[in-house]
Amino acid sequence: NAGVTQTPKFRVLKTGQSMTLLCAQDMNHEYMYWYRQDPGMGLRLIHYSVGEGTTAKGEVPDGYNVSRLKKQNFLLGLESAAPSQTSVYFCASSYDRSQPQHFGDGTRLSIL
């Protein structure tokens, strides 16, 4: 019973490099979310999706792009990584917006 799976678990990048974080869920959830969590800041929503083929901006979308080509996958891209994007990134999914979210175990990203 995988739930929400994030890859990779850890990554170190140099400033200016690009990368994609993958989130996969096997619960047939419509909603998917990307958050970042920094010390003392709580969870901040980056982008979210309300269904296959849809994406929308959250609270802190700048510097990130997302895609939801398949219902089960939600990709988060960093086109040109910056040190300010050093963070722990969590993906989550839910059946709809009124239902609880289920989280992946996070990606720890360091930008040097």
Partner 1 sequence: RKEVEQDPGPFNVPEGATVAFNCTYSNSASQSFFWYRQDCRKEPKLLMSVYSSGNEDGRFTAQLNRASQYISLLIRDSKLSDSATYLCVVIIIPGGGADGLTFGKGTHLIIQP
Q: In the window 51-90, what residues touch partner 1 (CB under 8 A)?
A: 56, 58, 88, 90
Q: Are 103 and 25 in contact (CB under 8 A)?
A: no
Q: Are 112 and 14 in contact (CB under 8 A)?
A: yes
Residue linked to tokens 């010390």: 39
Tokens of 83: 């040190």
**86 C-beta neighbours (distance < 10 Å), count:** 16
Nearer to partner 1, 62 or 100 (CB): 100
When binding is defined by CB under 8 A, the residue of 11, 19, 20, 45 that contacts partner 1 is 45
Q: Please tell me the count of residues contacting partner 1 according to CB under 8 A.
A: 22
CB of 80 to partner 1, least distance (A): 25
CB of 88 to partner 1, least distance (A): 7
Q: Are 94 and 28 in contact (CB under 8 A)?
A: no
What is the binding site for partner 1 (CB under 8 A)? 33, 40-43, 45, 48, 50, 56, 58, 88, 90, 97-106
